[in-house]
Copies of this chain bind each other. A is one copy, B any other.
Amino acid sequence: MLQEERQNIIINQINLHHKVLTTDLSKLLNVSLDTVRRDLHELEESGRIVKVHGGAVSKSFHLPFQQPQVYAREEKKEIAYKALGLFKEGMNVLMGGGTIMLELARIIPKNHKGTVFTVSPLVALEIAQRSTIRVILIGGEVSHDAYVCTGPTVISQLSELRVDLSFIGANGLSVKDGLTDNDWDVMQVKKALMKASDKTAVLSISEKLDTTQKMQVSPLRSFECIITELSPNDKRLQKYAKVTKVV
* A contacts, CB < 8 Å to B: 2-5, 8, 15-19, 21, 24, 47-48, 52-55, 57-65, 67-72, 98-99, 102, 121-122, 124-129, 132, 134-147, 149, 151, 153, 157, 171, 182-183, 207-208, 211, 213
Known pairs A62-B69, A121-B137, A136-B140; list 10 more (Cβ under 8 Å): A2-B54, A2-B57, A21-B182, A64-B102, A122-B125, A124-B142, A136-B142, A136-B153, A137-B139, A139-B157
Supposing A4-B57, A52-B3, A147-B128 touch, asked if A17 and B182 sit within 8 A by C-beta, the answer is: yes
Copies held by the complex: 2
Q: Kindly state the separation between the CA atoms of A237 and B190 in the bound complex, as whole angstroms.
A: 51
Contacts of A98 in B (CB 8 A): 18
Count chain B CB atoms within 10 A of each CB in A47, A146, A151 and give the residue with the most.
Answer: A146
Known: A128-B147, A144-B132. A52 touches B137 (CB 8 A): no
Q: How far is the CA of A18 from the CA of B122 in the complex (A)?
A: 15
Closest residue of B by beta carbon distance from A68: B60
> Inside 8 A of A132's CB, which chain B residues have their CB?
144
Q: Tell me the smallest distance from the CB of A104 to a CB of chain B, in Å.
A: 14
**How far is B23's CA from A58's CA once the two chains are assembled, in angstroms?**
29
Given A128-B147, A142-B135, the answer on whether A69 and B63 have CB atoms closer than 8 Å is no
Query: Smallest CB–CB gap between A16 and chain B, Å?
Result: 6
Residues on the B chain within 8 Å of A149, using CB: 137, 139
- In the complex, what distance in Å separates the CA atom of A7 from the CA atom of B119? 33
- Closest CB of chain B to A190's CB: distance in Å? 14
Q: Is the CB of B54 within 8 A of A3?
A: yes
Query: Which B residues lie within 8 Å of A146 (CB)?
Result: 18-19
The chain B residue sitting closest to A97, CB to CB, is B18
